């Protein structure tokens, strides 16, 4: 009888110890994983960058090449980021900004004013003036930067959206 009660007590203690150990392991595992991953999966914040309106051409004058330079926080690191966009005014109060980053492997595309196409030098990808693929390996159109005009000031968002996404923000 005494032996049986000792066994039950021992079993109870074992289960208790296993439960507590498992709980501590689970909680510290989650905390360690959070520490290891840091903020790397957090969405990067978009910023609005002001453009000189004289840099932005009218529709019939082709695209202006605009370099966007801004500070960006990536995880624990803050670095200066540069990207390139092709910008053009399509209406008095509407500007489009096409990202120069090729949708294939990210090379910088160039605007060919004579042929009215974007060309990628890396694998000969071609896009029309809307950024839609004409030929080559790119899997999809060029992305767009969001744009807005506030009190006559043209602004571009550092964030890009897929072609066909909502790119205009009204003030």
Which of positions 125-164 make contact with ligand FES (CB under 6 A)? 125, 136-138
- Least Å distance, CB 122 to ligand FES, is 4
- Least Å distance, CB 104 to ligand FES, is 3
Question: Does residue 102 belong to the site contacting ligand FES (CB under 6 A)?
Answer: yes
> 103 and 139 in contact (C-beta within 8 Å)?
yes
Q: Which is nearer to ligand FES, 104 or 145 (CB)?
A: 104
Q: Which is nearer to ligand FES, 66 or 120 (CB)?
A: 120
Question: Does residue 62 belong to the site contacting ligand FES (CB under 6 A)?
Answer: no
Question: Does residue 104 belong to the site contacting ligand FES (CB under 6 A)?
Answer: yes
- CA–CA dist 92, 53 (Å, integer): 12
Question: Does residue 84 belong to the site contacting ligand FES (CB under 6 A)?
Answer: no
Sheet of strand 126-127, all strands in order from the earlier edge strand to the far edge: 110-112, 117-119, 126-127, 133-135
- CA–CA dist 58, 89 (Å, integer): 5
Of 108, 127, 105, nearest to 116 (Cα)? 127
- Least Å distance, CB 141 to ligand FES, is 12
Residue 9: C-alpha distances to residues 3, 5, 15 (Å): 10, 6, 10
Question: Does residue 123 belong to the site contacting ligand FES (CB under 6 A)?
Answer: yes
Q: Which is nearer to ligand FES, 103 or 158 (CB)?
A: 103
Q: Which of 120, 154, 155, 157 binds ligand FES (CB under 6 A)?
A: 120
Q: Provide the 8-state DSSP code for 45.
A: P
Helix (H, G, I), strand (E, B) or coil at 31: helix
Q: Which of 84, 117, 122, 161 binds ligand FES (CB under 6 A)?
A: 122
Residue 6: C-alpha distances to residues 17, 121, 125 (Å): 16, 79, 77
**Residue ranges binding ligand FES (CB under 6 A):** 102, 104-105, 107, 120, 122-123, 125, 136-138
């Amino acid at each position: 009888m005494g032996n049986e009660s000792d066994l039950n007590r021992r079993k109870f203690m074992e289960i208790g110890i296993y439960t507590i150990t498992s709980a501590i392991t689970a909680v510290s595992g989650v905390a360690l994983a959070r520490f290891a991953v840091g903020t790397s999966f957090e969405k990067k914040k978009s910023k609005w960058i002001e453009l000189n309106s004289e840099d932005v051409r009218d529709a019939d004058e082709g695209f202006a090449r605009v370099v966007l330079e801004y500070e960006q926080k990536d995880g624990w690191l803050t670095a200066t980021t540069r990207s390139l966009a092709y910008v053009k005014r399509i209406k008095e109060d509407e500007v489009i900004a096409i990202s120069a980053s090729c949708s294939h492997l990210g090379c910088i595309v160039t605007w060919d004013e004579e042929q009215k196409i974007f060309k990628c030098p890396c694998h000969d990808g071609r896009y029309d003036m809307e950024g839609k693929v004409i030929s080559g390996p790119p899997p999809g159109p060029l992305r767009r930067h969001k744009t807005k005009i506030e009190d006559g000031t043209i602004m571009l968002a550092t964030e890009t959206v897929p072609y066909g996404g909502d790119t205009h923000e009204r003030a």
